[in-house]
Structure 1
Amino acid sequence: MTETTEAEAQPANDRENQLIMTLKDGDVRIQLRPDLAPRHVERIKELTRAGLYDGTPFHRVIEGFMAQGGDPTGTGTGGFRDRGYADIPAEFVPAARARFLRGTCGMARSQNPNSANSQFFIMFAPGDFLNNQYTIWGQVVEGMERVDRIARGEPPRTPDRLIRMRVAADAT
């Protein structure tokens, strides 16, 4: 089995499985991967449609590695469990199906593989050590240069925020 690209995995016109993430420098388009992680994609869309990602900070941004956000507390310890969103079981796939490459979107978690809730990360560079250890739910297909401009730090002194996220099918 060979690695699939985002274009092979999902039709480019499948707006139900695309996110538009608005950052300070403009929009980023993410192709969702329900073929790899159906429960995680559904959760991302649920939280997006509820507006729960809007205004959340990128609280952990490591040069040459990734930008992490999706925590309403901005501390790296939060999620939306208190709003009825239970943790999601891992949906790991073998590296032969998908790998952590530049622009890959993965779900953050604690040491427990089944603890993903709302936090996610976007890779700045390949990270093979994450393969089959973290769930891949999407791939940036447009606007990665905007992700590259997110303020660095753990946490950044002045964190950038996810201004707005929406499912492309809902965008007006």
Structure 2
Amino acid sequence: MKKLLYIDACVNRDISRTERLAQALLKEMNKNGEYEVETLCLEDEDLKLFTGKESAGREQLTRAGIYEGPMFDYAKQFASADRILVAAPYWDFTFPARMKCYLEQICVTGLTFTFSSKGIPGGLCHADSLHYVTTSGGSIGDLNLGYEYVEKLCKVYYGINKTVCYTAEGLDIEGNSVEEIMKAAEEEAIREYRKYA
């Protein structure tokens, strides 16, 4: 069975609108039961800032071709997924800090990407696509920097050439109906997913 990795970077999980939109999409993605869904909730993980000491230690291990131990678990999980769904609220133009910590953990030479003899990166990830869900109290416009960052990592490093972003915006603007915006966003996400699936 194929594996769908769901990366939940939502912070206010009980009331998260990003989580709600992602769950609607997740239901559509696996409506035929073709995926084993593996959920990684970043709030539950002991993600720490990557220090120089850890970076040097990881570099030493990867140069020796050693990929054992918990330091490499996230990268192995990400690299082996057949499809990936990310739920990350729109915070300060990007995403919550835990998402950045996670991305640093999965950028591992020899697991998620490699370099040619000329220094050109090449992807080692198995996923056919990554689907990114975000919601915002205001307007995102052309400042969707979190998605753009993940998109560039996917295409330049990971070898995941198909990325799609699904949004719900204006949720905290006075006079807007949150329920109407969310329902419309859920319907639009399902329509968009069916185009790319």
- Rg (Cα) greater in structure: 2
Compare relative contact order (CA 8 Å, sep 6+) and give the higher one, 1 or 2: 1
| TM-score over 0.5 (shorter chain) | no
Shorter-chain TM-score: which interval?
Answer: under 0.3
Relative to total residues, which structure has the larger helix share, 1 or 2?
2
Per the normalisation by structure 1, the TM-score is 0.27
